[in-house]
Amino acid sequence: MIGRPEPNEAAAYYSTYTDLITSEDILSVLESQLEETVPFLSAISDEQSLHRYAPDKWSMRQLLSHVNDTERTFLFRALWFARGFPDPLPSFDQNIAVAAAAADQISWMRHVEEFHAIRVATLAFFRNLPPEAWSRSGIAGSNSFTVRAL
């Protein structure tokens, strides 16, 4: 069971993101994104990666750190729910995470390498899920999600 998640498989706000994906094969989408994104990110210089479009906005390093943290968080949620753990998980506050990450102190290429490693781990996890695990669900941040919706 992969396919597209039904609206009742995640919080209502989540469709803002899932509706952007038109393919039924999310693993192929994740793989294509990896193949396209790493070369794109690798072409950005260390200096460019510190750019902010406004003083109070995140730098590109902070943005990629956020992407990495978010994928890691959603992968952990998928693991938790797929394995049948009953306890709810806390919410993820991106502002707390970005403030603690010190992303601007880490080289751009290390952020890119981290993105690659996390995506490879994400793909390996989802490729190895038994079919029945995709429909398992749990609570994260007081919202219900199925593994498929994550």
Q: Are 48 and 60 in contact (CB under 8 A)?
A: yes
Could you identify the residue written with the tokens 């941040």? 141
For residue 74, pLDDT beyond 90 = yes
Give CA–CA dist 109/57, Å, rounded: 21
pLDDT in tens, 83-115: 999 999 999 999 999 999 999 999 999 999 999
Q: What is the pLDDT of residue 1?
A: 56
Alpha helices in 83-127 (DSSP H): 94-101, 108-127
Q: Where are the alpha helices (DSSP H) in 2-93?
A: 15-18, 26-42, 60-82
The whole-number pLDDT of residue 94 equals 95
CATH 1.10.3080.10 fits 14-146, yes or no: no
Burial (CB < 10 A; 0-12, 13-18, 19+), residue 137, is middle
- Residue 12's pLDDT band, with cuts at 50, 70 and 90, is confident
Range in 1-10, 17-26, 73-82 with the lowest mean pLDDT: 1-10
Q: Which residue carries 């190895």 as its tokens?
A: 128
Q: How far is CA 134 from CA 24, 66, 109, in A?
A: 14, 25, 33
Could you report the per-residue pLDDT of 25-46, keeping only the tens digit for each?
A: 999 999 999 999 999 999 999 9
Q: Over the chain, what is the mean pLDDT?
A: 95
12 CB neighbour count, 10 Å cutoff: 9
